[in-house]
Amino acid sequence: MQIKVPEELARYCGGREVWQLEAATSAAAIAQLVDRFPDLKQRLLGSGGRLMAHLIVFHNGAVLAVPERSQRALAATDELEIMFLASGG
Amino acid sequence: MIDQVPGAAAKPDDFEFSRYHIDLAAASVRSERVRCQDLDDVLGGIARGFKGLEQHPVRDAYDPQAVLLMTLGILSGTQFMTGLRTYFLAYSPLKRSRSGLPSAMWSAGSGKFGTKLRYLGIDEMVMTGRSAKPVLLHIQADPDDPAAAPQFRFEDAEFLVGRLVNDKIQTLHQRYSPNAHYAVIGPAGENYASARFAAIALSTENQLKSGDPKPRFCGRGGMGGIMGSKNLLAIVADIKDTRAASADNFTELNKEVARGPGSARFRDDATDGLGGTWANFVALNDQHALPERNFAPTGTEASVPLYRQHVQETGNYVIKDESCYRCGIKCHKNVYDIGEDGKAGTFRAKLDFEPLNLLASNLGIFDVDQACTLVALVDEMGLDSISCGTTLSYAMEFNERHKADGQAQVEGPFYGDFESTHKAITDIGEGRLELLGQGVDRMATELGEMTYAMHCKGLELPAYLPQTNPGYPWALAGGHMSMRTFLLLLFERETGMDYWVDAITNPDKGLIPLRDDIIGICKFATLNHDQMASALTALTGLEIDAGTLRDLIMRTFLRGYRLEKLQGMTPDDYRLPSESHREYPEIDLPHFNTEEFFAELHQKVIDTFDRLLEEHDLGTQPAPALA
């Protein structure tokens, strides 16, 4: 599967926004990425290892509701994208 | 549309724009075609506006000869999605240097007014003088020759005096043709002498069709007061819609704006109902970084009832995502009382993050019904919701700190007290409460307590904690509209000195909002420099790339920075309220913005901008400051 992080966080994961991983669930994918790039942890995960509230996750282009974020099963061709939800202006 | 001289190769000085000089005292109009000197002139907006302002320095923002400048960006009124921006620029009655001189300021708004001006062939209006009587400016196309220069009429506006914003617009809508759109001030703009944060409201299609109070606002910096000081209550832009300018890649780029990842965070369709700035309540409160009680988070769950999800769960409201004219983002979250049929009933308020936070949780008010009433009241008074909310929270904090020593204001306002808050807003708008109406800086100076007066350079802070944003002092026109550093700590958690110096001085980070306020589009379009450069090249034929835009952003910032210096600003003006440097244990984000950190950052940022100012050729020299 493919996982994409916000452009602003690419420098914490080898300068790339997009990574190919083998993961069965969205939680496993995020955990793998954080294991590989520990600097991402404080920028993605809050208390109890949950994804922080200012982030939103899309699975194959569709937003995942908060309860689904960690449980969504993934196929090998699936795409997961993490974006910042908060903004202003 | 700015016109290119036929047959010429595309370079900036092949373009001309139309400028109209409006003298309110003499009720006269003079027009000129102005040959562009550089790209800044062609792209317009605040880039060209700053060039105009620096030729007209003033010592008093309300001097009748002070300029109120209206500009459009190159994409305003075109078919580029979100290209709806109108800019008002002036020396602000609110923003000032410590020397007391008013400082250059702009405020941007959407709605359809700017599009109508574009259809009328108006790129810029320079308004000076003061009308002896309340007046409105009626601009219409020549009925015999729509392609001819527009006709200007100064008309008696006595019938508008004292009316609320929506009443003014609906009254005008009844009186003028259905084609017209409007820029109006509310009671606050009429009472400009004691209400320094008055806004200019721009009508929307939705507002004229529904009758609901749904204008868009040029809110920041007191532009409505400048308009009021000229006794100009309304501008009527009266012309049938025509075919707006376009370019061959606009269709593709518009799809990107409406459906692409950049705008997804603002869209309900992309986020399953989470879109829009309202989502910041959840995002910030999760880290206890949501302003509460004058920017001092309580570390509690007090603000949770104001989350959009919980407002919906009450079953009392319908929240609709609605849009500006021809915009696919639909970022507006308009709240209605639920009707008996379960559908939207009476319109209550448009709830963006900043008004909802600053007029509710930052005032200790956590009831959404009360919040809707206050947000709507501020809009109807024609006040800037950010300045008004932050001024109210300062007054409440003062009253809280002095409730035992007899210095508290007897009538309030007090934290959590809807009635005293409602009364204070009404009194500010109607000119009866000058202590608050003059804004936080002047109020705190008068009361002698500056440490928790949440402003920079006289402009009240928006709804992001200064504890987490050392970039605020260098924002030219309001802390979040012109300096995009307010969410960086939440997103990136960087606390290093080099990171923050770069964040504040980089045209791809802190300074990036300036780009959209030059070219005429909404910041929510969120296209990158390459995409925007391709749109501008396709429209103008000029060679514009990402580097060109970065240079333009920096040049525009430096011109604004130079304008601040010309009006008396020194390094001492670039400060945060001192209490924002102390540690707040309730905030679950790193504490780094200490006095020591900020002192070093301050020196480095000032050094960087001063060096850049020396290195850049900004063209025409500004007029010398007035003695």
Domain ranges in chain A are 2-84
Identify the three-state secondary structure at position B523: helix
DSSP H helical ranges for B350-384: 353-358, 368-381
Amino acid B280 reads N
- Separation between Cα atoms, residue B135 and residue B139, nearest integer Å: 13
Do residues B422 and B184 make contact, with C-beta atoms less than 8 angstroms apart?
A: no
Pick B144 or B89 by higher pLDDT: B89
- Separation between Cα atoms, residue B66 and residue B377, nearest integer Å: 29
Segments of B416-502 assigned E as strands: 455-456, 459-460
Amino acid B404 reads A
DSSP H helical ranges for B56-210: 113-119, 165-175, 187-190, 205-210
Pick B446 or B262 by higher pLDDT: B446
Select the residue of B264, B486, B513 nearest A83 (Cβ to Cβ).
B264
Gap between the terminal Cα atoms of chain B: 38
| CB pair distance less than 8 Å for B487 and A53 | no
Q: Out of A59-63, B229-233, B547-551, which region has the weakest mean confidence (pLDDT)? A: A59-63
Select the residue of A43, A58, A86 nearest B487 (Cβ to Cβ).
A86
| CB pair distance less than 8 Å for B283 and A8 | no
Record the tokens describing residue B230, joined without a space.
């000229």
- Separation between Cα atoms, residue B397 and residue B391, nearest integer Å: 10
Q: If you average pLDDT over residues B386-408, what whole number do you get? A: 97
Q: Out of B260-264, B334-338, B449-453, which region has the weakest mean confidence (pLDDT)? A: B260-264
Q: Out of A12-26, B48-62, B206-220, B324-338, which region has the weakest mean confidence (pLDDT)? A: B324-338
pLDDT of residue B249: 95
Q: What is the dihedral of CA B96, B463, B471, B468, to 10 degrees?
A: 140
- Separation between Cα atoms, residue B262 and residue B352, nearest integer Å: 19
Amino acid B77 reads G
Looking only at the bridges linking them, the beta strands covering B455-456 and B459-460 are: antiparallel
Give pLDDT tens digits for B463-472.
999 999 999 9
Nearest to B180, CA basis, from B163, B164, B168, B189: B168
Tokens 């075109």 belong to which residue? B78
Kindly state whether A9 is in contact with chain B, defined as any CB-CB distance less than 8 angstroms. yes
Is pLDDT at B9 greater than 80 in this prediction?
no
- Separation between Cα atoms, residue B378 and residue B199, nearest integer Å: 10
A50 vs B contacts (CB less than 8 Å): none
Nearest to B129, CA basis, from B63, B214, B195, B81: B63
Q: If you average pLDDT over residues A77-83, what whole number do you get? A: 94
Q: Looking at chain B, which residue has its C-alpha nearest residue A10?
A: B492
Q: What is the dihedral of CA B394, B400, B403, B408, to 10 degrees?
A: 10
Percent of chain B with pLDDT over 70: 98
pLDDT of residue B2: 58
Record the tokens describing residue B138, joined without a space.
């009626």
pLDDT of residue B99: 94
Q: If you average pLDDT over residues B76-87, what whole number do you get? A: 96
User: In this structure, which long-range contacts are made by residues A45-52, counting pairs with CB atoms below 8 Å and at least 24 apart in sequence?
Assistant: A46/B286, A46/B287, A51/A82, A52/B283, A52/B286, A52/B287
Do residues B170 and B178 make contact, with C-beta atoms less than 8 angstroms apart?
A: no
Kindly state whether A68 is in contact with chain B, defined as any CB-CB distance less than 8 angstroms. no
Looking only at the bridges linking them, the beta strands covering B180-185 and B455-456 are: unpaired
Kindly state whether A4 is in contact with chain B, defined as any CB-CB distance less than 8 angstroms. no
Record the tokens describing residue B321, joined without a space.
């995502």
pLDDT of residue B6: 54
Q: Looking at chain B, which residue has its C-alpha nearest residue A61?
A: B270
Shortest Cα–Cα distance, B33 to chain A (Å) = 34
Do residues B30 and B127 make contact, with C-beta atoms less than 8 angstroms apart?
A: no
- How many inter-chain contacts (A to B, CB under 8 Å) are there? 80
| CB pair distance less than 8 Å for A87 and B277 | yes
pLDDT of residue B266: 81
**What are the backbone angles phi and psi of residue B105, rounded to the nearest 5°?**
-155, 155
Give pLDDT tens digits for A25-62.
999 999 999 999 999 999 999 988 889 999 999 999 88
Rg (CA), chain B: 23
Per-residue burial over B287-322, b = 16 or more CB atoms within 10 Å of its CB, e = otherwise: bbbbbbbbbbbeeeebbebbbbeebeeeeebbbebb
Looking only at the bridges linking them, the beta strands covering A2-4 and A18-20 are: antiparallel
Amino acid B601 reads L
Is pLDDT at B8 greater than 80 in this prediction?
no
Strand order in the sheet with B180-185: B151-156, B135-140, B232-238, B180-185, B200-202, B216-218
| CB pair distance less than 8 Å for B274 and A89 | no
Record the tokens describing residue A64, joined without a space.
């995942």
Kindly state whether A42 is in contact with chain B, defined as any CB-CB distance less than 8 angstroms. yes
Nearest to B103, CA basis, from B561, B620, B584: B561
Kindly state whether A45 is in contact with chain B, defined as any CB-CB distance less than 8 angstroms. no
A2-84 topology per CATH: Ubiquitin-like (UB roll) (3.10.20)
Q: What is the dihedral of CA B202, B190, B196, B348, to 10 degrees?
A: -50
pLDDT of residue B417: 98
**What are the backbone angles phi and psi of residue B195, rounded to the nearest 5°?**
-135, 95
Q: Looking at chain A, which residue has its C-alpha nearest residue B282?
A: A53
Q: What is the ipTM of this complex?
A: 0.95
Kindly state whether A83 is in contact with chain B, defined as any CB-CB distance less than 8 angstroms. yes
pTM value is 0.96
pLDDT of residue B102: 98
- Separation between Cα atoms, residue B126 and residue B137, nearest integer Å: 13
Is pLDDT at B462 greater than 70 in this prediction?
yes
A83 vs B contacts (CB less than 8 Å): 261, 264-265
- Distances in whole angstroms, Cα of residue B245 to Cα of each of B68, B115, B182, B256: 27, 11, 21, 19
| CB pair distance less than 8 Å for B265 and A86 | yes
Do residues B455 and B393 make contact, with C-beta atoms less than 8 angstroms apart?
A: no
| CB pair distance less than 8 Å for B284 and A54 | yes
B265 vs A contacts (CB less than 8 Å): 56, 83-87
A89 vs B contacts (CB less than 8 Å): 277, 480-481, 484, 513, 523-524
B480 vs A contacts (CB less than 8 Å): 88-89
Shortest Cα–Cα distance, A88 to chain B (Å) = 6
Percent of chain A as helix, strand, coil, to the nearest 5: 35, 25, 40
A9 vs B contacts (CB less than 8 Å): 491-492
| CB pair distance less than 8 Å for A56 and B274 | yes
Shortest Cα–Cα distance, B523 to chain A (Å) = 7
Select the residue of A8, A54, A63 nearest B270 (Cβ to Cβ).
A63
- Separation between Cα atoms, residue A4 and residue A33, nearest integer Å: 10
**What are the backbone angles phi and psi of residue B442, rounded to the nearest 5°?**
-70, -40
Nearest to B526, CA basis, from A2, A61, A53, A84: A84
Select the residue of A42, A43, A88 nearest B480 (Cβ to Cβ).
A88
B105 membership: H or E segment, kind and range? strand B102-109
Give pLDDT tens digits for B412-459.
999 999 999 999 999 999 999 999 999 999 999 999 999 999 999 999
Cα-to-chain-centroid distance, residue B191: 20
- Separation between Cα atoms, residue B36 and residue B314, nearest integer Å: 56
- Separation between Cα atoms, residue B199 and residue B571, nearest integer Å: 29
Band of pLDDT at residue A66, cut at 50, 70 and 90: confident
Kindly state whether A24 is in contact with chain B, defined as any CB-CB distance less than 8 angstroms. no
B285 vs A contacts (CB less than 8 Å): 53
